[in-house]
């Protein structure tokens, strides 16, 4: 069994959607706080982690001996220490198209229609 740690607050209805997409036998855990001590504790049992704004550095990676992969929802490497990932053998990937629709919808709502 693998554990996926969603390292961002996630509403219950979305948690159920994510759980429904996981392979049989996989478990989803969600960190409901941005407190680093809690994140460090929860990472110790995670095989995969999903982040958006959460900073993942060498200190957190050291607390995650089972971690195999970090999936970043969005673009950019500014919140994940890629060198520390490489040193620990943890793969890392971006999801650059993941927020395109939300950003476009947000932008279009702000426009005036003249």
| pTM for this entry | 0.82
pLDDT at 81 over 60: yes
Residue 11 DSSP SS3? coil
Average pLDDT of span 30-35: 90
Poorest-pLDDT segment among 45-59, 82-96, 99-113: 99-113
DSSP 43: H
User: Hey, how many other C-beta atoms are within 10 angstroms of the C-beta on 70?
Assistant: 26
Tokens of 107: 């932008």
Q: Which region holds residue 86: left if phi is over 0, alpha if psi is between -120 and 50, else beta?
A: alpha
Task: Confirm if 42 and 29 have CB atoms less than 8 A apart.
Answer: yes
Average pLDDT of span 100-105: 54
**pLDDT category of residue 114 using cuts at 50, 70 and 90:** very low
Nearest alpha carbon to residue 60 among 7, 114, 3: 7
Taking only Cα atoms into account, the Rg of the chain, rounded to an integer number of angstroms, comes to 16
Q: Which structural domains are found in the chain, ordered by start?
A: 3-109 (3.40.50.720)
Maximum Cα–Cα distance for the chain, whole Å? 57
For the segment 39-66, what is each residue's pLDDT rounded down to a tens digit?
Answer: 999 999 999 999 989 999 999 999 999 9
Nearest alpha carbon to residue 84 among 111, 62, 106, 104: 62
């Amino acid at each position: 069994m693998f554990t996926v740690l969603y390292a961002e607050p996630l509403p219950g209805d979305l948690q159920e959607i994510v759980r429904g997409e996981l392979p049989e036998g996989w478990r989803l855990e969600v960190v409901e706080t941005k407190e680093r001590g809690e994140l460090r504790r929860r990472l110790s049992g995670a095989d995969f982690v999903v982040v958006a704004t959460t900073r993942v550095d060498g200190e957190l990676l050291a607390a995650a001996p089972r971690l195999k992969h970090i999936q970043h929802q969005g673009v950019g490497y500014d919140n994940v220490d890629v060198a520390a990932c490489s040193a620990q053998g943890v793969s890392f990937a971006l999801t650059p198209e993941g927020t395109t629709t939300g950003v476009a919808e947000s932008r279009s709502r702000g426009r005036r229609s003249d």
